Every structure is written in C-alpha cells, then in structure tokens.
Amino acid sequence: MSRVCELTGKGPMSGNNVSHANNKTRRRFLPNLNDVSLVSETLGRVVKLKVSAAALRSVDHRGGIDAFLAKAKDDELSARALKLKKEIAKAGAAA
C-alpha cells in the first residue's frame, strides 16, 4: 500500500540520519497516516480514507469532509477522493 494521504497528497520525504560523529545515512520521513471513517452529510453515509493527521485537522476546521472536498484542488486528491468529490457535488446539485 502506498504511504500517501488521500486528501492532501502528502507522501514520504527523504533525508539523512546524522550521528554524533556527523556520519550521514539516508532515511525516509513517513507521513502520519491514519485509517479514518468520515461521515458525508450530503451522501448520508460513512467514507473510509487513509488520511494524514494534518489533513484530518483541516477537515475538522473546514466543517467536515463535504466542505473540505468542495475547496480541495483536484490534482492533490487521490482517485477515490476525486470520485467522492464528484458524487458529493452531484448529490448537492440535485438537492
């Protein structure tokens, strides 16, 4: 499974471990990903996504997954999140 946030596109970064003797070895910095269940009020169902902790705070700040996806850029979203965004937009337009 890829270690990429489905809402922000945040993924692994690379850097160095630096010892006390200043030896440098390569390492990976992984994002803090969590499997979460978010409730879509427009669709009336629960959606499971793999989201970073920072993105989860942004979802709460914006007022839920529906509001977050409405303002999110399409190029940052995963295929599943983009499909969800289109479903929410379609359901919102019909209501």
pLDDT, tens digit, for every residue of 13-50? Answer: 999 999 999 999 999 999 999 999 999 999 999 999 99
Count the helix, strand and coil residues of the chain and give each as a percent rounded to the nearest 5: 35, 30, 35
Give this prediction's pTM. Answer: 0.87
**C-alpha dist (Å) from residue 56 to 3, 6, 23, 26, 85:** 16, 11, 36, 29, 16
- Going along the chain from its start, the domains and CATH numbers come out as 13-94 (2.30.170.40)
What six digits make up the tokens of 50?
């793999």
Identity of the residue numbered 18? V
What six digits make up the tokens of 33?
């990903």
Average pLDDT value over all residues in the chain: 95
